[in-house]
């Protein structure tokens, strides 16, 4: 199950689990659409491809809440 990290690691913008606009690599490094584009859809941590993260909504989100641990590190 995806961790559903709550923020962009690069700029810190909020990325709610129940909304689109988040991009992840296979290690779940998480970036907003603007930062993913600036990074040419490549994770600066592992070099992996950044892909759309699916949303988690309704009962699935209630039963499996998103992470609350923020990972913003600053510009990459």
Per-residue pLDDT tens listing for the chain (76 residues) = 999 999 999 999 999 999 999 999 999 999 999 999 999 999 999 999 999 999 999 999 999 999 999 988 765 5
Number of domains making up the chain: 1
Residue 39 maps to a domain: no
Range of the domain at 12: 1-33
For 46, the token pair is: 């592992």
List strand residue ranges (DSSP E) for the chain, in order.
22-24, 30-32, 51-52
The verdict on residue 65 lying in a domain is no
pLDDT of residue 71: 87
Residues 6+ apart with CB under 8 A from 18: 55, 56, 57, 61
CA 57, CA 71: separation in Å to the nearest integer?
22
For residue 13, tell me if it sits in a domain.
yes
| Residue 64 placed within a domain | no
| pLDDT at position 75 | 59
Q: Is residue 7 part of a domain?
A: yes
Q: Are 73 and 8 in contact (CB under 8 A)?
A: no
């Amino acid at each position: 199950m995806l961790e559903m990290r709550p923020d962009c690691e690069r700029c810190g913008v909020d990325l709610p689990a129940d909304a689109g606009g988040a991009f992840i690599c296979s290690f779940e490094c998480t970036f907003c659409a603007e930062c993913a584009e600036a990074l040419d859809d490549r994770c600066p941590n592992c070099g992996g491809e950044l892909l759309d993260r699916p949303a988690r909504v309704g009962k699935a989100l209630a039963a499996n809440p998103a992470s609350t641990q923020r990972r913003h590190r600053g510009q990459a």
